[in-house]
Amino acid sequence: MNFADRYGPFAVITGASEGTGREFALQLAAAGIPSILIARREAPLQTLAAEILETTGVECSTASIDLAAPDAAAQVLAAAGGQEIGLFIANAGADPNGSKFLDLDLENWLQLVRRNVMTVFECSYHFAATMRTRRRGGLLLVNSGAAYGGASYLATYAATKAFMLAFTEGLWAELKPFNVDMLTLVMETTDTPEFRRLLAAKGLPVFPNLASPRDVAALGLANLANGPIVNWGKSDEEPGPPTSAKSRRERILAIDEMTKPIFGG
């Protein structure tokens, strides 16, 4: 199967208006896969859809959705409509707060959890189910190195990303027999507009040697079949915090075998 046959005919991308989300949409269109582009701001989505149509002839649709809303997942599924979704990319999930947990109102963190966990969780349940039935497709959840441990300014954000890491590992093992790919793309600091806005709000200069959104998106798409984890800037066997992707993969498979008698798999 070529890429479009395996992950088409349509993709859903959340957080598609800029940064890595925009790059995912451009690169999928170049492979002949149209996307349903989702983000809170409609204007950048329409601009991107028009650019994709002009440069590739691929027609994308757009939907303005606040992914932190309690019914965000239902809105995403409604935007997908009756289209056959072969690839779901959960790209939205930055932390716009940059604050310690107790220094902000609780609602800020509840929104972060809804956006980074519940909406991704619910969408993954729906799209993975249909992919399992068809026995093809993929889910790509964009992650962060914060998944490997917390810090004083990252308590909630790191927790949401750690959830994404463990969730991907488990669902990867579950979907593997059905030819459905599952990958979490663990990014390091990337030169996105959202990150630049955070730096500007804190009065900080742009960091040197930031990862390119184009390169990060390309890495994720190229490794969809090599789940459950790909770490930016590290080889498959290179130790990362705390272990290599390969060793984590082997551990997942071992635990999967051990727990099958317990859970009746």
Which CATH number does the domain housing residue 142 bear? 3.40.50.720
Return the closest-CA partner of residue 132 out of 82, 169, 85, 200.
85
With a cut of 70, say whether residue 14 has pLDDT above it: yes
Q: What is the predicted pLDDT for the residue at 264? A: 63
Q: What is the predicted pLDDT for the residue at 202? A: 75
- Specify the number of domains making up the chain: 1
CB 189 within 8 A of CB 211: yes
With a cut of 70, say whether residue 263 has pLDDT above it: no
- Could you read off the pLDDT of 23-82 as tens digits, one per residue? 999 999 999 999 999 999 999 999 999 999 999 999 999 999 999 999 999 999 999 998
Q: What is the predicted pLDDT for the residue at 84? A: 98
- Could you read off the pLDDT of 145-199 as tens digits, one per residue? 889 888 888 899 999 999 999 999 999 999 999 999 999 999 888 888 888 887 7
How buried is residue 135: exposed, middle or buried, by Cβ count under 10 Å (0-12/13-18/19+)?
A: exposed
Sheet holding 229-231, edge to edge: 61-64, 35-39, 10-14, 85-90, 137-144, 180-187, 229-231
Report the alpha-carbon distance of residue 171 to residue 263 in Å, rounded.
15
Residue 248's domain comprises 3-263
Ramachandran quadrant class, 32 (left: phi over 0; alpha: psi -120 to 50; beta: rest): left
Q: Which residues are catalytically annotated?
A: 157, 161
In sign, the C-alpha dihedral spanning 166, 167, 170, 173 is negative
Q: Is the pTM of this model over 0.85?
A: yes
Q: What is the predicted pLDDT for the residue at 240? A: 67
Q: What is the predicted pLDDT for the residue at 127? A: 98
- Could you read off the pLDDT of 94-111 as tens digits, one per residue? 888 878 899 999 999 999
- Could you read off the pLDDT of 186-235 as tens digits, one per residue? 988 888 888 888 778 778 888 888 989 999 999 999 999 999 999 998 88
Mean pLDDT of 130-143: 98
Q: How confident is the model at residue 265 (pLDDT cuts 50, 70, 90)?
A: low
Q: How confident is the model at residue 262 (pLDDT cuts 50, 70, 90)?
A: low
